[in-house]
Structure 1
């Protein structure tokens, strides 16, 4: 019986349908397909033709390999010799024309779908080892007059299609540089003109401007801090090569507070609730790289020529992130976030320090929301205090009312988080004090992975998998935060029969122990 391989189906579905399909894919160079994590994520949105395009593998060669393995291949792109439809030539021609023309040549007559295909070809070229400078020349020629909103949508599609995040980040940096003029005013004007055309049309444009000027509103806070970061970048750049350079760079490193807010409050919500994975997967990674490079520069022993070159480069990346945030990220949030999400974020922001600004004002509606939430919590406590024993949480060794249990957990001098056996954030204690690791309320009932930047997610997955499997019962991670040693311990939580029910993360400041033994 013939085995029909439909190329319209996802790689994940084909691998489930035909075990030998995986072997052929690995032989073609798709080694990640053998990894369950990759197959169950990227594999669900990746097709064979799309994968071949991204990796620069001939689709004809792939078809021949499948036919040699006994498959009958059908579906989109089954043979490049097949008659083309009217819609197909435009998309395919973008890559063919690109290969036959000198670097920096503009491809004419493309619609948004065609330009997205062209952008995909740039990613494939980067992945195959072509130099960024060569790709940059074509990017500038074809995208310098394309609005930022369209490029953001194209980047989103690339990520969903399985493109390498690092390559998308590199093009993202080129993209932001396109909006730069000679003066700072020209840069801002170019960026605003480019993005407002499509990303925030009509009411969206007005909404962005209104919210960024509403005192105390989260958009206003992010906008003010972003502007302050821009000004500090300018001061730091002016100080390079002078005795003040390290002090200015140290001040600039406070942008980590602002980046942490984006990572906790903006990126995950855009990805999980609104389907925009681009900012989470691309900008979040760039934020982390900027912070890491600033730390490395501050820890250097001397400010030689190489140090100055690195400092200039990271200042440029930070400056470009300012434009991405002001003209892509924040408008995207204004367009998508609901009123309830902004109110919840306003309450969460109270747990964070301001970054490089002294005051951002007070949002009346936000304050009213916080008061109502506090009153509801207090009412719940009062009602619970009046409840009889039947309303208590019954445990094998006693019983507690929810109010007593909450108070007891908040008295423990630890930051405690519980993730259930399906990897969902279910609980953390909160005594009202500022935490080393902020936990916004929007993260509750959300997969734990989405609360971590891309480069950390794989480590978290590995730790939890280790605890689930029983290979280890706990994993310790030591670090320094705010000048104090900190122990983060991940512990498997098992019931009395030994079955895994979740993971508990416990964060403990260890400065008290250090100080005790020093005395």
Structure 2
């Protein structure tokens, strides 16, 4: 029997049965007792493989998500014994663990005390204290966003797809709980018990997510991602921001400079950008599908490009390419064009807007100075759009159109 238990395929099968039996209504204690020996020593990567296989077999992500807290409790004893690779201050995972520590401490030391005060007296002051707590805890969105937009894409590259989908769903649930709690407090109507339940549920979900990250996600990511990938994550983290704390130090990278040959290269026929690469056809069609007209003139005031979208407002022909922009306007308005370009070239302005009514159209005409990273003037982009449909938008739309 021990040979079977140590057999990875057998254990994978039994772990899948744990989730399925829980789904069918078995209690956590029943499952724990039956599979205590099977789950001993289980690794984070095996849990990942299990969830991926369940999804492949047709179990909806929502079902795994619904059972997420339950199966985390089942595996908790064994997962806590997983060896975590050594981390250094500044490493993305080190910073995320410091954030988790700060979040947990804030909930234990501040939120819990303020909630206790609210339970005893739902005064305006105590309500405001809880609103302040939820505003601060919304910072957790930055923590989740770095996880979802920096770590998950790399895991998916290695075929690890189910755990990120499940975790992202729970992240969104937590975001919703924070928003709902704040709304209930802002529009407080004496429903004290409902507010308390909402906030306690939120705090519990946050702590469960911290456990899942620390015991499942981080070990799995550290085991899977390469040093170059962690460097890329580190370099992009500042753009999203951090929750409650800032990294206490910079990460001392072993490889400070990554040459172009070390980064992922585009396939032949692609144009490379700082944030990806596209084929010329993709570039053209992306520009054409944008709802508005775009025209670009270079630093010498020569027309070099215009888009050909379906919603074109002003006529353009290919004969305009290579023409001086001053010659494309009536003499009476050339002085306005010259003034805009003069301000852009001198650095006095970076954009200029005009809006006019043309029958049923309400046309917004925007001019933007295009500059290099060093601030050198490269040209001007004109963007024209009918904003009448946008001005008519009211309320919210959260469902797909039929």
| TM-score clears 0.5 | yes
The CA distance in 1 between the partners of 2:235 and 2:194, in whole Å, is 44
Please name the residue that 2:170 is paired with. Answer: 286
Q: Go from structure 1 to structure 2 and tell me whether the alpha carbon gap of 1:147 and 1:240 turns closer, same or farther (over 3 Å shift).
A: farther
The CA distance in 2 between the partners of 1:347 and 1:125, in whole Å, is 43
**Alignment RMSD (CA, Å):** 4.5
Which of 197, 211, 221 is the equivalent residue of 2:95? 221
Which of 209, 217, 228 is the equivalent residue of 1:340? 228
Which of the pair has more CA radius of gyration? 2
Check the 8 A contact 1:347/1:370 in 2, yes or no. no
Which of 197, 209, 219 is the equivalent residue of 1:321? 209
Q: Equivalences for 1:400-439 in 2 at 5 Å?
A: none
The CA distance in 2 between the partners of 1:329 and 1:145, in whole Å, is 19
Q: Alpha-carbon deviation of 1:287?
A: 0.7
The CA distance in 2 between the partners of 1:338 and 1:332, in whole Å, is 12
Which of 246, 251, 254 is the equivalent residue of 1:363? 251
Q: Alpha-carbon deviation of 1:276?
A: 0.6
Q: Alpha-carbon deviation of 1:477?
A: 12
Structure 2 length as normaliser, TM-score? Answer: 0.56
Q: Alpha-carbon deviation of 1:266?
A: 1.0
SS class of match (2:98): helix
Please name the residue that 1:252 is paired with. Answer: 137
The CA distance in 2 between the partners of 1:146 and 1:477, in whole Å, is 60
Check the 8 A contact 1:229/1:322 in 2, yes or no. no
Q: Alpha-carbon deviation of 1:297?
A: 0.9
Q: Alpha-carbon deviation of 1:351?
A: 0.8
Please name the residue that 1:34 is paired with. Answer: none
Please name the residue that 1:468 is paired with. Answer: none
Q: Alpha-carbon deviation of 1:166?
A: 1.9
Q: Go from structure 1 to structure 2 and tell me whether the alpha carbon gap of 1:306 and 1:393 turns closer, same or farther (over 3 Å shift).
A: same
Please name the residue that 1:173 is paired with. Answer: 69
Q: Alpha-carbon deviation of 1:282?
A: 0.9
The CA distance in 1 between the partners of 2:151 and 2:63, in whole Å, is 23
The CA distance in 2 between the partners of 1:292 and 1:156, in whole Å, is 26
Q: Is structure 2 residue 57 aligned with structure 1 residue 161? A: yes
Q: Alpha-carbon deviation of 1:332?
A: 1.4
For residues 276-296 of structure 1, the C-alpha deviation after alignment (integer angstroms, 9 at most, x for no partner) is 112211111111111111110
The CA distance in 2 between the partners of 1:261 and 1:364, in whole Å, is 20
Q: Go from structure 1 to structure 2 and tell me whether the alpha carbon gap of 1:327 and 1:304 turns closer, same or farther (over 3 Å shift).
A: same
The CA distance in 2 between the partners of 1:277 and 1:363, in whole Å, is 28
Structure 1 length as normaliser, TM-score? Answer: 0.44
Please name the residue that 1:40 is paired with. Answer: none
User: For structure 2, which runs of at least 5 residues remain unmatched after alignment?
Assistant: 118-125, 262-272, 275-299, 307-317, 324-343, 353-369, 374-388
SS class of match (1:299): helix
Greater shift in the superposed pair: 117-126 or 290-299: 117-126
User: For structure 1, which runs of at least 5 residues remain unmatched after alignment?
Assistant: 1-89, 91-107, 182-189, 197-204, 379-388, 401-406, 414-428, 433-473, 489-519
Please name the residue that 2:10 is paired with. Answer: 114
Q: Alpha-carbon deviation of 1:322?
A: 0.7
The CA distance in 1 between the partners of 2:151 and 2:202, in whole Å, is 23
For residues 447-493 of structure 1, the C-alpha deviation after alignment (integer angstroms, 9 at most, x for no partner) is xxxxxxxxxxxxxxxxxxxxxxxxxxx9999899xxxx9x99xxxxx
The CA distance in 2 between the partners of 1:232 and 1:399, in whole Å, is 62
The CA distance in 1 between the partners of 2:241 and 2:160, in whole Å, is 27
Please name the residue that 1:307 is paired with. Answer: 195
Check the 8 A contact 1:126/1:167 in 2, yes or no. no
The CA distance in 1 between the partners of 2:151 and 2:392, in whole Å, is 26
